[in-house]
Amino acid sequence: MRTDDFDYYLPEELIAQTPLQKRDSSKMLVLNKENGEIEHKHFNDVLDYLEEGDVLVLNDTKVIPARLLGVKEETNAVIEILMLKEENENVWECLSKPAKRIKIGTIVDFGNGKLKAECVGIGEEGIRKFKFIYTGIFYEILDELGEMPLPPYIHEKLNQKDRYQTVYAKNIGSAAAPTAGLHFTLELLDKIKEKNIKIEYVTLHVGLGTFRPVSVENVKEHKMHSEFYVMSEETANVLNEAKKNNNRIISIGTTSTRTLETIMNLYGEFKECSGWTDIFIYPGYEFKAIDALITNFHLPKSTLVMLVSALAGKENILNAYKVAVDEKYRFFSFGDCMFIK
């Protein structure tokens, strides 16, 4: 299985640069994973595809305003840092630019001394470990000084930080948003609950791999990054009950999917747990946790195109992506979505 097998043609103008004014007005391509049939809808039609007894699983991670612009203390050279994950108290794994200017002991100043970062470790591919030095409450300082870590294919400035957060974001820790969830509004969530459809939450903090392309030819040689996940006892009980009653588990996004599949592979059931997952889902994988998936359109040759191909079949997915291009769907983080049922 080759990485190139998951390539597709995408005109650059279809990459969504800004979010739509109304979250739930995005287009939704509905794909039948069994026969490849396609319908064209909008996200606020999603209620028509949900049934009593279904359980929706959403990722309640919250994005850190993790992009920081500062200056090197000795030289005033401009340094950009992207915080990826907290290793231990106040020490973070970061991407830095330009990385070659950052040595052990280098101190970067943000906001005229409000926040400083000292390099305490050097890793591969531009990774640096920084110890953050500050007075006050760390996340309040970040809110003031940091910018949302938008993906590299988004070139427009985001005027409202909260548009790169889901409306239910709660647990701080992601370097990127779980973007399938961006389509939900609080009103739509209420309507879903009124239909006797359960809504449950897991947490998976989205990390470095979001920014890493697949660089090997043979898919099976790709190494996934690790991401931290949490499932509560309450959510586990609801999901086990759904399985017992043959009710559908509908995952919102690939991050929720990877969490649910990881737990099912480890324990054979859902249970209260937390840990690190580097699960890599590609065609040939047998899904044990989820029955359906709502997700955005993903980058060519990415692990996420491989994941949806595992669920719906590569031919069905690549055909749906071709149709989406022809129909001028908006792609990637701020784009439209697909309901694989």
Predicted local confidence at residue 211, as pLDDT: 58
Domain termination site, one of 145, 176, 202: 145
Residues 105 and 216 in one domain: no
pLDDT of 51 strictly over 90:
yes
Residues 287 and 168 in one domain: yes
CATH number of the domain encompassing residue 80:
2.40.10.240
pLDDT of residue 213: 72
Q: List the domain range (segments joined by +) for residue 113.
A: 67-145
Mean pLDDT of 17-43: 97
- How far is residue 171's CA from residue 184's CA, in Å, rounded to a whole number? 17
On whether the CB atoms of residues 11 and 325 are closer than 8 A, the answer is: yes
Query: What pTM value is reported for the model?
Result: 0.92
Query: Is 153 within the bounds of a domain?
Result: no
Residue 273 pLDDT: 98
What CATH number does the domain containing 249 carry? 3.40.1780.10
Residue with the two structure tokens 């697909």: 338
Amino acid sitting at position 208: L
Q: Is residue 180 one of the residues assigned to a domain?
A: yes
* Across 209-231, average pLDDT: 87
Same domain, 190 and 317: yes
Structure confidence at residue 16 as a pLDDT band (50, 70, 90):
very high
CB 175 within 8 A of CB 228: no
Q: Among residues 145, 178, 198, which one ends one of the domains?
A: 145
Residue 209: per-residue pLDDT: 73
Mean pLDDT, all residues of the chain: 95
Q: Indicate whether 155 belongs to any domain.
A: no
Q: Do 168 and 132 share a structural domain?
A: no
Sequence-distant (6+) residues with CB within 8 A of 271 are 231, 233, 236, 263
Distance spanning both ends of the chain, measured CA to CA: 25
User: What's the pLDDT tens digit per position in 231-250?
Assistant: 999 999 999 999 999 999 99
Q: Write down the residue that tokens 């996340």 correspond to.
A: 139
